[in-house]
Chain A
Amino acid sequence: MTFLSPLWLLAAGAGIVPVLIHLIFRRRYVQIDWAAIRFLRNAFRKKKKRLAVQHLLLMFLRILFLLVMAVICAVPVFKSRFFRGTGTGVTVIILDNSYSTGMQTDSVASFTRARRLAVAVAEKASRQGRIVFIPFAAGEHAVEKSTFDLPYIRRMIQQTEICFNHISPHTAFEAGSQILEEEKGDGHTVYVITDLQKITWDFPPESLSGISFRRLAEKGAIRIIDMSPVQKKANCGIQSLDLTGRIPTQGKYAEATVLIRNYSDTVIDNHVCFRLEGGTYAKIPVSLKPGLNPVSTDIRFNRPGLNRLEACLDEDVLPGDNRSWVVVDVPSAVEILAVNGETSVEPMKDETDFFKKAMNPRGRFSVGDDIAINVTDVNEIVFRSREISGYDIIVLANVMRITEQKIQNISSFLAEGGSLVISAGDMIDRRFYNSSLYGSGKHPLLPVRLGQAVLTGSKHTGPQKLDLNSLRGIPLAFMKDFREAITEHISFYTYFRIQEGMPKEQEHTQTILRFRDGTPAVVISREKGLVCFLNFTLDEDWTDFPSHPLYLPFMRELVNYCMKQKARNLNGFAGEPVSVDVPAELGELELKVIDPDGSVDHVVPLFHDSRYTISRESAYTPGVYCVQQGDFLAYRARNPRPEEGDLEKISREMLTKRFPQADMRFIHIDAADASLKAEYTEAAGGGWRLFALIACIISVLEYCLAWISSK
């Protein structure tokens, strides 16, 4: 038997308390002059021995009671089969720090309890052999070389936090099996402390996680400590917070939409609170149905620049998914630089005339509550010398070619979150586009390679009709409402065919709209910035689309989409690195980095790829990260990434069935129990119950003795 809290054994000194109480109370008595003392003395003499024995016995029981209580508080641990391990080999402790372990019972998260249990297991295992500690995620706290250094292991366990990103257990299993493979001897034990949620554990045996788990089970005995709550609890979580609808500009209303998932089977009443720059903007009562619930509100951003918008729900059992943040870059107006590739002296014959009209239909800077869009129209010659960093979007409208210098500038512009729209027409130098914009550089500016020009009849191709069945993505979703108008009445003529097999569908390049012949009409390529390739011109020289009423919303949606891409760089998920480009003049200075938990760090930017950048690789804490130096202020939001199946638990039977060869045992440590140490003791053989029983028996005996002695 050992003790988890041996310091409590010092409390055994309290055994002297009954003696002290006896002595103190002997000094506190009533004094009576008594005539019949002869009879009293006779009575006392007859019971004297019995009383002495009873008093001694009572004293002994009281002292024993206190001693037993001290032993209970010291948490005696008996070696149970489960915790005894399988030998003197290495003990691998794998800690599940997935999102769902934040589930609270009695205001204590399962993860907090799991971490304490991991420390308890490590303390015990350190007496038998070396220890390895591997969390499911956040690998920098992993101790991947077996060690006897218990304080180090304990520190690493304590420093491990919940990871709010999606977790695959494969890495942890793989690391564990590799470590055990290198270890000599056998009798290794793997303790996996987890809440057994499906999102993490529902992997088939032939998957990567399954294979690595099987390998791990071959190396050592698997002991799974299930920390999940006994009952499924009602939980709501924010799936996403985003600005939907129009682009946010200074002083204008923009729509913020929060998607809330109700994980339970019943309707839950809740509140959505929107906070702008820390102050409450709106608090909306909502009744959340099972599943996804969108909640929107209009928000006006009065301050230009970066704004922090937060949405939060009422506190529930899983606090980690109740908050979401978004950093919004609010411009005074959307600045678009339209490069006109085909100028004309006639009205509405310039390549960009229709585009300019579409952006600003009434010829004013802004219209009503509509967003402010400022289009600057330049020709190719002026563009060569134009500084582009102040713009949000650059539109190359049928531009023949651009200089190498400008290509570099545009690449930097994209890297900083800008967007590029390329419209292909007859003025384009195909070879230049293919060689300089598509063929060169790590991230080509052109998402497709252009094929040969098509010259048939009076018009060069077509007429082409759009295939709305090929429509992908949200930006052009409105087009579905005008299916007939678009598919029947709008004709497109293209000058270039896209080269066969283009674009190569990748994660960052995709066709979002096609013509009926299957060739791409709109292709986007997304790296840091967004490149949008339109295989049609912006004027009516080639197509009647510009003169059609749908042209205006199409173009504005496109601009909207481009601006959102810019905002997307400001926001990400927890676990993704935070990167902020710093102006060159601050490059040598120490910048203050404030984490969401309020901790402040002073960091000098690194010079890389012609830019000064501050990077934080392990942004595991959700919230808004802030980089500050003088007037320079940058925000980056990192949000939890909840999954639909977060709160579904996998059954033990399922795991046992999938891995029948594994020496796998389970123990469930009830999340409802208040004391982890008590749980550990219980897990180790119900020791506390035994001691509680002894304490009760002692109390009853004492009561009986007191009763007998009064007779």
Chain B
Amino acid sequence: MTETEHTPQGPLDPQVLAKVSGLKFRVKKIVEGFIAGLHRSPYHGFSVEFAQHRQYNPGDDIRYIDWKVFGRSDRFFIKEYEEETNMTATVLVDCSESMDYSSGSLSKYDYGACIAGTLAYLLLNQQDSVGITLFDNSVRTEVAPSTNPGILKNIIDVLEQTQPQGETKIKGVFLKLLSTLKRNGVVVLISDFFVDPEALDTALKHFSSRGHTVFLFHVLDKAELEFPFDNLTLFRGLEHEGDLMLDPNTVKKAYVREMKAFLRDLRKTAIQKGVHYYLMDTSKPLGIALSSILSTHGGRRKV
């Protein structure tokens, strides 16, 4: 679809976002659009909430003894609460060269940055701790998690200033990250996942085993999904993968089959590892994608 034929689908439409210069303003626009969409949402108003009683054991802090229960039952019970504040979310954004591809207005990196920025904004508004890490074959830039609202500016600056380049090698990067991440955190991984499937499998396994809740945002361009080329084309591989000249018509169906298999395998891996997987088409409006994600996971109050 050409730009002239495009009908904007609201403020979160990639075409609209592409016209907004600066990630900060894009994020603002997304959030405004998104909040407008959450007007009737039941998820706001987080607070400390009671979980259960348990029998007092020697050594327990007497501050947590529920005296009302003692008055009724003459026995000591301790009140236990869920830990709801200061959730640590780490957003990992792939900034390798493959993320620079774009057949339309927004590149995959731009789209991923929008997702990262928007999530950061929403989480900080919930008093959660948010940090961001940009990686390719190593960790390129890192912003340590914090609940300070001022960190959003740092995150957005980092996302804006980074140019996608280099190869993606997640094995070393994720192992290094695992050692620095707190346990039971939230890990949001934004990438096109054109990586070694085994390395990704291993990394996801490690994240899950350490109690992290992992969200995979699989960002792909529409052209990568549909392969809409006709004329003889020289495909120049990003990330030093070499070139390939061919008539697209001759391999179109085979390519689409390969891509579907890749998506299927990735989705399967994610399910096996208990990871939340979302395929993000850069031609689709971002708000729709986010709301569908949040509607799926809002009940768990993790995000």
Q: In the complex, what residue of chain A is closest to B232 when comparing beta carbons?
A: A29
Given contacts A36-B194, A37-B241, contact A28 B254 (CB under 8 A): no
| Cα distance A41–B237 in the bound complex, in angstroms | 10
| Cα distance A710–B244 in the bound complex, in angstroms | 18
Q: What is the minimal beta-carbon distance from B181 to any residue of chain A, in angstroms? A: 28
Assess whether B238 is in contact with A32, with CB atoms less than 8 Å apart.
no
Q: Check if A34 is an interface residue, CB within 8 A of chain B.
A: yes
Chain A contacts of B221 at CB under 8 A? 35
Please pick, from B97, B224, B233, B246, the residue contacting A36 in the complex, using a CB distance under 8 A: B224
In this complex, the member of A34, A36, A46, A47 whose beta carbon has the largest number of chain B beta carbons within 10 angstroms is A36
| Cα distance A594–B40 in the bound complex, in angstroms | 109
Q: Check if A632 is an interface residue, CB within 8 A of chain B.
A: no
| Cα distance A711–B252 in the bound complex, in angstroms | 8
Chain B contacts of A38 at CB under 8 A? 194, 241
Q: What is the minimal beta-carbon distance from B240 to any residue of chain A, in angstroms? A: 10
Assess whether A47 is in contact with B235, with CB atoms less than 8 Å apart.
no
Assess whether B101 is in contact with A34, with CB atoms less than 8 Å apart.
yes
Assess whether A32 is in contact with B234, with CB atoms less than 8 Å apart.
yes
Please pick, from A25, A36, A47, the residue contacting B254 in the complex, using a CB distance under 8 A: A47
Q: What is the minimal beta-carbon distance from B267 to any residue of chain A, in angstroms? A: 16
Q: Check if B258 is an interface residue, CB within 8 A of chain A.
A: yes
Chain B contacts of A35 at CB under 8 A? 97-101, 108, 192, 194, 221, 224, 238-239
Q: Within B78-97, which residues are at the interface with A (CB < 8 Å)?
A: 97
Q: Check if B255 is an interface residue, CB within 8 A of chain A.
A: yes
Please pick, from B98, B100, B246, the residue contacting A44 in the complex, using a CB distance under 8 A: B246
Contact code string A45-59 (vs B, CB < 8 Å = 1, else 0):
011000100000000
Q: Check if A40 is an interface residue, CB within 8 A of chain B.
A: yes
Given contacts A35-B98, A35-B192, A36-B224, contact A43 B234 (CB under 8 A): no
Assess whether A34 is in contact with B254, with CB atoms less than 8 Å apart.
no
Q: In the complex, what residue of chain B is closest to A31 when comparing beta carbons?
A: B234
Please pick, from A25, A34, A47, the residue contacting B250 in the complex, using a CB distance under 8 A: A47
Q: Within A4-43, which residues are at the interface with B (CB < 8 Å)?
A: 25-26, 28-43
Q: In the complex, what residue of chain B is closest to A36 when comparing beta carbons?
A: B224
Assess whether B235 is in contact with A34, with CB atoms less than 8 Å apart.
yes
Chain A contacts of B42 at CB under 8 A? none
Assess whether B232 is in contact with A40, with CB atoms less than 8 Å apart.
no
| Cα distance A29–B231 in the bound complex, in angstroms | 7
Q: Check if B229 is an interface residue, CB within 8 A of chain A.
A: yes
Assess whether B258 is in contact with A43, with CB atoms less than 8 Å apart.
yes
Q: Within B227-266, which residues are at the interface with A (CB < 8 Å)?
A: 229, 231-239, 241-242, 244-246, 249-255, 257-259, 262
Q: What is the minimal beta-carbon distance from B260 to any residue of chain A, in angstroms? A: 10
| Cα distance A31–B232 in the bound complex, in angstroms | 9
Q: Within B17-58, which residues are at the interface with A (CB < 8 Å)?
A: none
Please pick, from B98, B108, B244, the residue contacting A40 in the complex, using a CB distance under 8 A: B244
Chain B contacts of A710 at CB under 8 A? 249-250, 252
Q: What is the minimal beta-carbon distance from B119 to any residue of chain A, in angstroms? A: 23
Assess whether B250 is in contact with A42, with CB atoms less than 8 Å apart.
no
| Cα distance A43–B260 in the bound complex, in angstroms | 12
Assess whether A32 is in contact with B236, with CB atoms less than 8 Å apart.
yes
| Chain B residues with a Cβ closer than 8 Å to the other chain, count | 36
Q: Check if A159 is an interface residue, CB within 8 A of chain B.
A: no
| Chain A residues with a Cβ closer than 8 Å to the other chain, count | 25
Chain A contacts of B236 at CB under 8 A? 31-34
| Cα distance A493–B254 in the bound complex, in angstroms | 121
Q: Check if A699 is an interface residue, CB within 8 A of chain B.
A: no
Q: Check if A376 is an interface residue, CB within 8 A of chain B.
A: no
| Cα distance A568–B255 in the bound complex, in angstroms | 93
Q: What is the minimal beta-carbon distance from A50 to any residue of chain B, in angstroms? A: 9
| Cα distance A33–B98 in the bound complex, in angstroms | 9
Assess whether A30 is in contact with B234, with CB atoms less than 8 Å apart.
yes
Contact code string B49-77 (vs A, CB < 8 Å = 1, else 0):
00000000000000000000000000000
Q: Within A658-711, which residues are at the interface with B (CB < 8 Å)?
A: 709-711
| Cα distance A600–B202 in the bound complex, in angstroms | 104
Assess whether B232 is in contact with A25, with CB atoms less than 8 Å apart.
yes
Assess whether B245 is in contact with A37, with CB atoms less than 8 Å apart.
no
Assess whether B257 is in contact with A43, with CB atoms less than 8 Å apart.
yes
Chain B contacts of A40 at CB under 8 A? 235, 244, 246, 251, 255, 258
| Cα distance A25–B246 in the bound complex, in angstroms | 12
Given contacts A35-B194, A39-B255, contact A26 B232 (CB under 8 A): yes
Q: What is the minimal beta-carbon distance from A470 to any residue of chain B, in angstroms? A: 97
Chain A contacts of B101 at CB under 8 A? 33-35
Assess whether B251 is in contact with A47, with CB atoms less than 8 Å apart.
yes
Assess whether A37 is in contact with B238, with CB atoms less than 8 Å apart.
yes
Assess whether B258 is in contact with A42, with CB atoms less than 8 Å apart.
yes
Assess whether A37 is in contact with B235, with CB atoms less than 8 Å apart.
yes
Given contacts A43-B258, A51-B250, A710-B249, contact A37 B242 (CB under 8 A): yes
22 A–B contacts from the bound complex (CB under 8 Å):
A26-B232, A29-B232, A30-B232, A30-B234, A32-B235, A33-B101, A33-B238, A35-B238, A36-B194, A36-B224, A37-B237, A40-B235, A40-B246, A40-B251, A43-B254, A43-B255, A43-B258, A44-B246, A46-B254, A51-B250, A709-B249, A710-B252
Q: Write the residues of chain B forming the contact surface with A, with a CB cutoff of 8 angstroms.
A: 97-101, 108, 192, 194, 221, 224, 229, 231-239, 241-242, 244-246, 249-255, 257-259, 262
Given A44-B244, A44-B246, A47-B254, 20 more contacts at CB 8 Å?
Answer: A26-B245, A28-B232, A30-B233, A32-B233, A34-B235, A35-B239, A36-B98, A36-B194, A37-B244, A40-B235, A40-B246, A40-B255, A40-B258, A41-B241, A41-B242, A43-B257, A43-B258, A46-B254, A47-B251, A710-B249
* A-B pairs, 6 with minimum CB distance: A43-B254, A37-B237, A35-B98, A34-B235, A39-B258, A35-B101
